[in-house]
Structure 1
Amino acid sequence: MSARAALITGGTSGIGKTTAEVLHNRGYRVAVTGQRPESVARARKELPDDILVLRADLRSLADTDEVVSEVRERFGTLTTLFLNAGISRPVTLDVCDEAAFDEVFTVNTKGHFFTLVKTLPLLSDGASIVVTVGIGATRSLTGNSLTAGSRGALLTMVPTLALELAPRRIRVNAVSPGYTDTPILRATPGMGADDIAAMLAAAAAQNPFGRLGTPEDIAETVAFLASDGAAYITGQEIVVSGGAGLAV
């Protein structure tokens, strides 16, 4: 397909921002969204000038409508939709409340579902949809039930969405990073800098490859799934974790 264009939610930092740079370098027109004003402002300074940076909150369907309108005006159509934004709220059952549950599922599940619904008319036949899930959705991590459930809900939708959109040759796949060194991981709620550094060091030491993932590791996988090289791949989850979770 010519005139490739991509929309990346959560594209103002970390994996999303790096993916925006990778796709832009490969000739894509790119739009990214972010929720935090400071992240949006930084992305506008650091990303190439022709990348469209939009502030949008996934909890607001009105914001999503505005994003779709802006993308339609700028690009006309989309060939790639990367549903990447998300929040993590480590919380155990004894302290979990309704507000935390609603926030996590509204952003990670409902927000992305309706972003797909609203952008579907913009997607070209043969387009690629990639959803960020994460290995925590299928592996046990203490205190991760909310985040895992919200991401896992998306993962269970992937095969059905893939079949539903197959008549248009639109591919739907998930990418599941392991521990990846991103700003959101380094700002884990309830953990100080020393605790986070210890957590990252332990995760790297336990990984079969002896290191954490990088945003580039994930971005290259997303770029592959968006490419013609993945034209016959749909309904799949690709785990990008350096082998984390393989040991019995």
Structure 2
Amino acid sequence: MQKAIIVGATSGIGKSLALLLADNGYKVGITGRRKNLLAELHTERPYSFYSLTIDATANHLEENLQVLTEQLGGLDLLIFSAGIGELNNDLNIDLELPTIDVNVKAFNKVVIWAYHYFEEQKGGQIAVISSIAGLRGGAIAPAYNASKAYQINYLEGLRQKTKQQKLAISITDARPGFVDTAMAKAEKKFWMATPEKAALQIFNAIKAKKNVIYITKRWQIIAFLLKMIPRFLYERM
């Protein structure tokens, strides 16, 4: 039986992934900082879920992940689904710093812990829910876009590292566009996917050990266009 941990499983894509993994025979360690939501999710698949209340920004994150891994009896897949981001036209530093704490610092702690675990195990999978927003800067949410760019580039660096070390560690970067969750805060939204649809595409990408996937797949078109827009033009948009 495959074993997985989802960091950030209490809502949105993380919750949908947890249920999908459980329905496909995984033992799943679910984490989140909202104890009540974690308890509600646990009751849906009590024989598949092992829950642990964890604030991704708190101390002892790595120790808690180790505890949960021991409860599962091992680990094959680590999914980082935690994330925050606020619209911040006024550049309020009190909105920027929490985004960095979760999307950069906590992300870093989790993926480094997982990488070392799988390095010692000689194999495993890491999947991260980043964002198409990480492809370019964004005036309305500068810290969010920048934090997702950090994740995208960090994961690419880790994939390069696995090749250099000749390790059987698969690293999947899932880049959603708009998904119908609390994270979808832009004023104009289109091609909105349900969390369930997003989770299914991510699950299939994990099974196929894909490096990068856009959620939903049509967002590849937007990604291509974003990359093609010259900087001088993009900065005036």
How high is the TM-score relative to the length of structure 2? 0.82
SS in 1 for 2:76: strand
The 8 Å contact of residues 101 and 146 in structure 1, kept in 2 or not, is answered as: yes
Instruction: After superposition, give the CA deviation of every residue in 1:193-248 in whole Å (9 maximum; x if it has no partner).
Output: xxx8xx4xx524xx3xxxx1111222122222332x33xx4xx3211135347366
Whether 1:153 and 2:160 are equivalent positions in the alignment is no
Separation of aligned partners in 2, 1:239 and 1:144: 20
Question: Does the C-alpha gap of structure 1 residues 160 and 63 become closer, same or farther in structure 2, counting only changes over 3 Å?
Answer: closer
Question: Does the C-alpha gap of structure 1 residues 140 and 245 become closer, same or farther in structure 2, counting only changes over 3 Å?
Answer: farther
For 1:198-209, list aligned pairs within 5 A.
199=187, 203-204=189-190, 207=191
For 1:4-153, list aligned pairs within 5 A.
4-71=2-69, 73-92=70-89, 94-97=90-93, 99-123=94-118, 124-139=121-136, 141-153=138-150
Whether 1:224 and 2:204 are equivalent positions in the alignment is yes
CA RMSD of aligned residues (A): 2.3
Question: Does the C-alpha gap of structure 1 residues 216 and 32 become closer, same or farther in structure 2, counting only changes over 3 Å?
Answer: same
The 8 Å contact of residues 89 and 147 in structure 1, kept in 2 or not, is answered as: yes
Separation of aligned partners in 1, 2:220 and 2:167: 35
Unaligned stretches of 5+ in structure 2? Answer: 226-237
Instruction: After superposition, give the CA deviation of every residue in 1:23-64 in whole Å (9 maximum; x if it has no partner).
Output: 111111111111123322322333444301211111113134
Separation of aligned partners in 1, 2:100 and 2:219: 26
Unaligned stretches of 5+ in structure 1? Answer: 189-195
The alignment-based identity, stated in percent, is 23
Equivalent pairs counted in the alignment come to 219
Separation of aligned partners in 1, 2:177 and 2:4: 24
Return the structure number with greater relative CO, CA threshold 8 A, min gap 6.
1
Instruction: After superposition, give the CA deviation of every residue in 1:84-138 in whole Å (9 maximum; x if it has no partner).
Output: 101112102x3321x3332111111110111122233443433211111111222
Instruction: After superposition, give the CA deviation of every residue in 1:136-174 in whole Å (9 maximum; x if it has no partner).
Output: 222565412111111110101112101212422101120
Which residue in 1 is equivalent to 2:228?
none
Amino acid at match of 2:41: A
The 8 Å contact of residues 176 and 237 in structure 1, kept in 2 or not, is answered as: yes
Amino acid at match of 2:215: V
